[in-house]
A and B are shown apart, each in its own frame.
Chain A
Amino acid sequence: MGRILLYLLGVVAIYGVTQTHYDYLAQYMFFTHRAQHLVLHHAGPFLIALAAPLPVLADGLPTRIRQFPGRSLATRLLRPVYRTLQYPLIAPVLFVGLIYFWLIPEIHFDAMLSADLYQVMNWSMALDGLLFWWLILDRRSPQQGGLGYGKRIAIMLAVIPPQILLGAYIAFGKEVIFDVYEVCGRAWPFDPLDDQRLGGLLTWIPATMMSAIGVLIILGLLNRDARNEDAAYVTHPTR
């Protein structure tokens, strides 16, 4: 029940920031845009990954799709790509790299100007968010094929400083870094520097807090595994 709720919450959050009037606000104000990416890259995928819906979703697929002829070929082609993206050294670089990439002022300008590029930006964030949190919040223990808990914690800690750095750089900027909102007009009259400060803080604080929550969840998983081991030990006492 809890997992269903988490999954729905994640999906509704992503839907809410991309398919409703909120998306309009996210296009014409910097801080609302940062909040949108916080949901697309951090909160939404985090909730979905935590719900671990893949087995259920796979079972729910029509048989026709599950048994389509090119399936083994597709798996064979996609697996190396997936493995590469999920390699413990590449995943965090990709995670932070995408945030930086779309915030390069020139790139950001183009993405906000071109309707197509805007979609590419948002979906790349959502997809990378899913990949990243999928890797981190994998319910399988390391023995079952999940990533080692130490590595997961290390990855989450590693992505904190670059996000703080970027968030602080934006929040403490004395000049407007992203002028596209000036050029295209704002959703409502709002001081450009206040807008930028708020956006910087959103990039900095809640984003890095997700790592802290993630670490707590991994500690919970560690605890779970330890208990299971204890239980196995108790049922076969050697004394």
Chain B
Amino acid sequence: MRRWIMTAFASLWLVGCGEQAWQTKDISGLMPPLAFELVDENGNTVNAERFLGKSTLLFFGFTHCPDVCPTTLARLDAATQRMDEAARDDIQVLFVSVDPRRDDPETLRTYTDAFGPRFIGLTGDKEALEELTRRYRVTYGYGEEDSNGNYDVSHSSAVFAFNDQGEARLLIRDSDPMEAMVADLERLAGDT
């Protein structure tokens, strides 16, 4: 009996050794599971359950964004390109526009399609966006309009990663190295 217990303990302990730490910021337990009700690229209302079953990366931005959004989305695309094919297909990226005034479903679709099929554009009214941003403790704000009607939008620069059950797992910053991102996304895709 005692030998069995010892074996069980030893193997558990060894399993513990195999468990690598996440290389980007671990937010398990810090943030609530994925939930929202937004409008997709076809103008239909969708909620988070529709996106379960795949690992989800959530990013807030706007299509007129000059630097942060295109850079981040391109980085995500590059990271997924480096992953195994099987793991790559388990990743979907939700790009939530916090600028619904300029980003209608059509604009969003054109924008996200430019980054690849894994990128899905979503937006919503002020209420829906505020509920979602508050849930992930991020915020956004609008700058002043210039003479051409252009304005800046401040938003979060982080990518939130959820496993296929919609549980919060990671926060990826723009300062995280590509290798760390790829390693973590591969682990996330394998995480059940």
Residues of A within 8 A of B (CB): 24, 27-28, 109-110, 112-115, 117, 179, 182-189
Contact with A along B100-144 (1 / 0, CB 8 A): 000000000000000000000000000000000100011111010
Q: Min CB distance, A104 to chain B, in Å?
A: 15
Question: Provided the pairs A183-B156, A183-B171, A185-B156 are in contact, do residues A109 and B25 lie with their beta carbons within 8 angstroms?
Answer: yes
B158 close to A (CB within 8 Å)? yes
From A28, A113, A179, B31 is in contact (CB under 8 Å) with A113
| Contact B171–A185 (Cβ < 8 Å) | no
| Alpha-carbon distance A28/B141, docked complex (angstroms) | 11
| Contact B158–A184 (Cβ < 8 Å) | yes
B37 close to A (CB within 8 Å)? no
Which residues of B from 134 to 171 have beta carbons under 8 Å from A? Answer: 137-141, 143, 152, 154-158, 171
Nearest neighbor of A113 in chain B, beta-carbon distance? B30
Interface size on B, residues (CB 8 A): 22
| Alpha-carbon distance A13/B152, docked complex (angstroms) | 34
Residue pairs across A and B with Cβ atoms less than 8 A apart, 28 shown, are A27-B137, A27-B139, A109-B25, A112-B137, A113-B27, A113-B30, A113-B171, A117-B30, A179-B175, A182-B157, A183-B138, A183-B171, A183-B173, A184-B138, A184-B158, A185-B138, A185-B140, A185-B154, A185-B156, A185-B157, A186-B139, A186-B141, A186-B154, A187-B139, A188-B141, A188-B154, A189-B152, A189-B154
Q: Min CB distance, B95 to chain A, in Å?
A: 15
Q: Min CB distance, B8 to chain A, in Å?
A: 33
| Contact A113–B137 (Cβ < 8 Å) | yes
Nearest neighbor of B175 in chain A, beta-carbon distance? A179
Question: Provided the pairs A109-B25, A182-B157, A185-B154 are in contact, do residues A28 and B171 lie with their beta carbons within 8 angstroms?
Answer: no
Q: Which of B139, B158, B173 has the largest count of A CB atoms less than 10 A from its CB?
A: B139
Residues of B within 8 A of A (CB): 25, 27, 29-31, 60, 133, 137-141, 143, 152, 154-158, 171, 173, 175
List of B residues within 8 angstroms of A24 by Cβ: 139
Nearest neighbor of A188 in chain B, beta-carbon distance? B141
Nearest first, the 5 A-B pairs at minimum CB distance are: A185-B156, A114-B30, A183-B158, A185-B139, A184-B138
Nearest neighbor of A116 in chain B, beta-carbon distance? B30
| Alpha-carbon distance A114/B31, docked complex (angstroms) | 6
| Alpha-carbon distance A181/B141, docked complex (angstroms) | 13
| Alpha-carbon distance A187/B156, docked complex (angstroms) | 10
| Alpha-carbon distance A27/B60, docked complex (angstroms) | 18
Question: Provided the pairs A114-B31, A179-B173 are in contact, do residues A184 and B139 lie with their beta carbons within 8 angstroms?
Answer: yes
What would 10 more interface pairs be, CB under 8 Å, given A110-B30, A113-B27, A186-B141? Answer: A24-B139, A27-B137, A113-B31, A113-B137, A182-B157, A183-B138, A183-B157, A184-B158, A185-B157, A187-B139
List of A residues within 8 angstroms of B156 by Cβ: 183-185
| Contact A28–B152 (Cβ < 8 Å) | no
| Alpha-carbon distance A179/B171, docked complex (angstroms) | 13
